[in-house]
Amino acid sequence: MNISQLQKVLREKVVQTAKEKFNVELGTAVAGEVPPKTELGDLAFPVAFELAKRIKQQTGKKKNPREIAETLRAALETQDFVERVEVAGAGYLNVFYNRAKFLSESVSANASAEQNSSGNETISKVCVEHTSVNPNKAAHIGHVRNSVLGDTFVRILRASGKRVEVQNYIDNTGVQVADVVVGFVYLEKKNLDDIKQLDENLKAGGKSFDYYCWDLYAKVGVAYQQNEGLKTKRAAVLHSIEEGNNETAMLADFVATRNVECILKTMERLSIRYDLLPRESEILHLHFWQKAFEEMKRRDVIKYEIEGKASGCWVMPFESHAGNDEHDADKILVRSNGTVTYTGKDIAYQMWKLGLLGLDFYYKLFREYADGKAVWITTAEDLRSEKVPVFGSNETVYNVIDSRQSYPQEVVKKGVATIFPERGEAASVHLSYEMVALSPNAAEQLGFTLSEEDKQKSFIEMSGRKGLGVKADDLIDRLEANALREVETRHADLSMEEKKKTAHTIAIGALRYFLLKFTLTTVIVFDFKEALSFEGETGCFCQYSAVRANSIFRKLEENALENATETISNSQTEIQELFATENEVWSLITLASRLGETIAQAVTATEPAILAKYTFGLAKAFNLFYHNHKIITEENPVKRALLIATADLARKSLTNALMTLGIEVPERM
């Protein structure tokens, strides 16, 4: 029996007893909570207060909460795993587990392998879309927050037993790509061959294509301000790109694809990989919108306006948003000139993700990652050549998009739910998070001169158009360089290859943890000092804790763990006696056992930070344990066994937690 099963049994017992003794139906409302201190028990039910109220409502009689708690206590104490139950305070019911029994169960459960159901095709599939950087420049730290959140949520879903499809949407036919094309064609007078040559030259010089585009994009932004005519050019370029099958479209395709390659490479440094890259070009060419439009008309959820401001447009009515003079309650999906809005296209795409469109893409292999995993990209032609996995048709779709898009995302969710009430709004989840902004200080460190107005602000929004932002690869490079310096002073004996590998692992741990420790609703005001730190609440701290744990086992005799497990099952009485004084050891064991529960919480709350905080707490608890107990020199064999088993439970839980955060544990650090 693991901890969550145990809690479930106890909760049910409370409900059952309330029904039998007091005739009160608590339903699932009964909550078990972790007491603030180990001395107060392992699980608490503040349920007697609620019961007292309900009894009064039903019978008119006042009943003392403590008295009620006493009755429940007797019932809970009959449970095998419960050592004792105390009634505390005004009526808290504090449950103490049988520690020795709990430990030996945990240790043997630990030995008999783990879960994993990710390969099981019968489990329904969910989709997480994240990253979706416009393929016209390098990714900056704000994009990385999106990707790290998305990737971590994918890992969390998988750890909780879900089958997950990871999509990275490529807006290869949008204005942002058009802007860079304008830069290449009109500012730099380059054709496709020139750009290919440029790309070769950049490669030879160790420079990156997406960095070049980053600067060019900023230059185009400036040029638009000085030259209105250039904006007309952009409209024409955009039109050609959308239409396809022409020189401009081919040039744009090259630029977008090269940027996608660069961005994927950046993300791979962070251990972020994708299953599919759906492109806007295919959504256009395979006429996804037309199909969705037909379905909307067939189901009569869209109307053609013949008067008013939106005259000549097709709109979807929304009751939830009351309109006013300035803004309509209805959302325009088709403009009066017959073209589709972004929201319209997005609804069609969301329908495909949920398996509701009745059309599919064609697919080709985009590339294989170093670990052998394949990432596919959509195409408009049926190539029929390869074994393509099944994409789309997801039970639930999580769209990782920053909070500024909450309104359009709500329209997509409600739109799809209006067309398909049988699936409802729950199928579409907007995993919304706040942006990463720059502290004025950080912006100046990047070499930007700030206006007086900007200096007054608490933070400054990053802007691709202005070229203002911390590029992901730059930051990773700095983190790796810093980590390498530290590794060199500590482990001069390691080979350069090993040192670099360790530095890389530390750098990624630092960056991922830094982005994950904030909750989704918090704006991260980026600060170099904080982001580059390896001390305190950092990924590095968590890794260090796990590395220390592993180093104990490297120094212990080979069968130490097996022997400890045996000792524990043969010495239950002595273990129980040891636990009487070793509260701190016990609380580390219970904390380590709560990983599964924490992951489940992170899924329900769609909040990866819950897992990050848990991981840090566990690392801290282990460091304390490590400091206070010397395992190798411990002479009492039973205590030694207890400490070994505890260290093993903690390091396994910590390693799994870190893995779910996408953070590896180095050999040494």
Partner RNA sequence: GCUCUCGUAGCUCAGUUGGAUAGAGCGUUCGCCUCCUAAGCGAAAGGUCGCGCGUUCGAGUCGCGCCGAGAGCACCA
What residues numbered 156-185 form the site for RNA, per CB under 7 A?
171, 174-176
The yes or no reply on residue 631 touching RNA (CB under 7 A) is yes
The yes or no reply on residue 415 touching RNA (CB under 7 A) is no
Binding letters toward RNA, positions 282-321, x by CB under 7 A: ---------------------------xxxxx--------
The rounded Cα 155 to chain-centroid distance in angstroms is 7
Pair 471, 264: CB distance under 8 Å: no
Q: Which of 129, 165, 125, 135 is nearest to 149 (CA)?
A: 129
Closest distance between RNA and the C-beta of residue 556, in Å?
A: 8
Tokens 């089958």 sit on residue? 163
DSSP of 191-259: -HHHHHHHHHHHHHTT--HHHHHHHHHHHHHHHHHH-HHHHHHHHHHHHHHHH-SSHHHHHHHHHHHHH
The yes or no reply on residue 16 touching RNA (CB under 7 A) is no
Pick the piece of the chain touching RNA (CB under 7 A) from 179-187, 369-377, 391-399, 511-519.
511-519
What residues numbered 390-409 form the site for RNA, per CB under 7 A?
403-408
DSSP of 414-434: HHHHHH-TTT-GGGEEEEEEP
Q: Is 420 exposed, middle or buried (0-12, 13-18, 19+ CB in 10 A)?
A: middle
Q: Which residues pair with 334 in a beta bridge?
A: 314, 340
Size of the site for RNA (CB under 7 A): 98
Strand ranges in 428-523 using DSSP code E only, listed in sequence order: 428-433, 436-438, 460-461
DSSP of 552-564: HHHHS-TTHHHHH
The yes or no reply on residue 563 touching RNA (CB under 7 A) is no
Whichever of 357 and 669 has its CB closer to RNA, that residue is 669
Whichever of 117 and 522 has its CB closer to RNA, that residue is 522
The yes or no reply on residue 620 touching RNA (CB under 7 A) is yes
CA distance 397 to 202: 39
Binding letters toward RNA, positions 585-614, x by CB under 7 A: ----------------x---x-x-xx--x-
Closest distance between RNA and the C-beta of residue 155, in Å?
A: 19
Q: Which of 114, 113, 76 is nearest to 98 (CA)?
A: 76
DSSP of 68-85: HHHHHHHHHHTSTTEEEE
CA distance 190 to 646: 65
Whichever of 118 and 339 has its CB closer to RNA, that residue is 339
Q: Which of 416, 524, 575, 611 binds RNA (CB under 7 A)?
A: 524
Q: Which of 335, 423, 465, 478 binds RNA (CB under 7 A)?
A: 335
CA distance 10 to 31: 10
Whichever of 355 and 622 has its CB closer to RNA, that residue is 622
Q: Which of 359, 380, 446, 547 binds RNA (CB under 7 A)?
A: 547
Closest distance between RNA and the C-beta of residue 345, in Å?
A: 8
Q: Which of 78, 324, 449, 581 binds RNA (CB under 7 A)?
A: 324
Q: Which of 168, 343, 428, 615 binds RNA (CB under 7 A)?
A: 343
**Token pair in block for residue 245:** 């099958």
Sign of the C-alpha dihedral computed for residues 627, 630, 636 and 638 taken in this order:
positive
The yes or no reply on residue 153 touching RNA (CB under 7 A) is no
Query: Which one-letter amino acid corresponds to residue 304?
Result: Y
Pick the piece of the chain touching RNA (CB under 7 A) from 33-41, 118-126, 226-234, 369-377.
33-41
The yes or no reply on residue 487 touching RNA (CB under 7 A) is yes
Whichever of 364 and 485 has its CB closer to RNA, that residue is 485
Cα dihedral 509, 514, 520, 522 in deg (nearest 10) = 180
Q: Which of 55, 144, 483, 657 binds RNA (CB under 7 A)?
A: 483
Sign of the C-alpha dihedral computed for residues 547, 549, 550 and 554 taken in this order:
positive
How many CB atoms sit inside 10 A of residue 134's CB? 21
The yes or no reply on residue 122 touching RNA (CB under 7 A) is no
The yes or no reply on residue 454 touching RNA (CB under 7 A) is no
The yes or no reply on residue 566 touching RNA (CB under 7 A) is no
Closest distance between RNA and the C-beta of residue 72, in Å?
A: 13
Pick the piece of the chain touching RNA (CB under 7 A) from 223-231, 464-472, 524-532, 651-659.
524-532
Q: Which of 194, 454, 461, 474 binds RNA (CB under 7 A)?
A: 461
Closest distance between RNA and the C-beta of residue 113, in Å?
A: 27
The yes or no reply on residue 8 touching RNA (CB under 7 A) is no
Q: Which of 105, 129, 328, 648 binds RNA (CB under 7 A)?
A: 328
Q: Which of 144, 525, 589, 649 binds RNA (CB under 7 A)?
A: 525
Q: Give the contacts of 641 (CB within 8 A, at least 6 positions apart).
A: 563, 564, 565, 567, 568, 571
Q: Which of 154, 126, 100 is nearest to 274 (CA)?
A: 154
What residues numbered 232-291 form the site for RNA, per CB under 7 A?
none
What residues numbered 38-97 form the site for RNA, per CB under 7 A?
40-41, 44, 46, 49-50, 53, 88-90, 92, 94
Q: Which of 84, 207, 455, 555 binds RNA (CB under 7 A)?
A: 555
